[in-house]
């Protein structure tokens, strides 16, 4: 059994409108949401063994805040420039390259690619959660999808079961 956690970066700040998109930081609301999602992951989802993240400032900050809430040995973290604003096929290709027996991988990234990937991989699960996810994948939203597989190279569209879809507003 494999578990994939897809986490959209937390809300970014627009205080500096001339700042390049890649360099935007988190807003106060985003900082709070990332911390809340980190606590939720610690209590409910278990610690991922590997985190693959876009290398943008806001995804790095989101990862840092989530890690601060996790107990035990920290997971391996890989910041990958190829995940910045990546298309679903690019994210899936990167996932399929995961080796080393990690059974729980988290991807921290951006919409619309992350949202589209979550929808394409989900074939079953709680109908209301799937509908909620289909409508919107907000900042700091977390989709947890499980696969009846032992190798990341074997995951396919519609083969996953949506175990959980959480948005920060529900945790406050």
Annotated binding-site members for substrate: 58
> What is the spatial distance between Cα 52 and Cα 23, in angstroms, rounded to a whole number?
18
Secondary structure element (H or E) that encloses residue 125, with its range: strand 122-125
Q: Tokens 């920060």 — which residue?
A: 168
> What is the spatial distance between Cα 94 and Cα 152, in angstroms, rounded to a whole number?
10
Q: Tokens 């921290």 — which residue?
A: 108
CB 39 within 8 A of CB 168: no
Instruction: Extract the annotated binding site.
Output: 58
CB 95 within 8 A of CB 4: yes
> What is the spatial distance between Cα 141 and Cα 6, in angstroms, rounded to a whole number?
8
Q: Tokens 């989101």 — which residue?
A: 62
């Amino acid at each position: 059994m494999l578990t994939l956690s897809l986490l959209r970066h937390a809300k970014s700040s627009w205080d500096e409108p001339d700042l390049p998109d890649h360099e935007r930081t988190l807003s106060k609301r985003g900082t709070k949401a990332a911390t809340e999602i980190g606590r939720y992951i610690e209590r409910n989802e278990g610690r991922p063994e590997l985190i693959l993240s876009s290398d943008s400032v806001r995804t790095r900050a989101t990862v840092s805040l989530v890690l601060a809430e996790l107990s035990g040995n920290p997971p391996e973290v890989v910041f990958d420039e190829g995940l910045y604003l990546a298309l679903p096929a690019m994210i899936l290709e990167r996932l399929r390259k995961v080796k080393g027996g990690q059974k729980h991988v988290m991807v921290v990234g951006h919409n619309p690619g992350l949202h589209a990937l979550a929808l394409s991989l989900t074939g079953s699960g709680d109908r209301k959660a799937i509908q909620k996810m289909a409508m919107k994948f907000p900042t700091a939203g977390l989709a947890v999808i499980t696969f009846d597989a032992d190798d990341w190279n074997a995951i396919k569209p519609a083969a996953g079961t949506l175990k959980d879809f959480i948005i920060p507003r529900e945790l406050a």
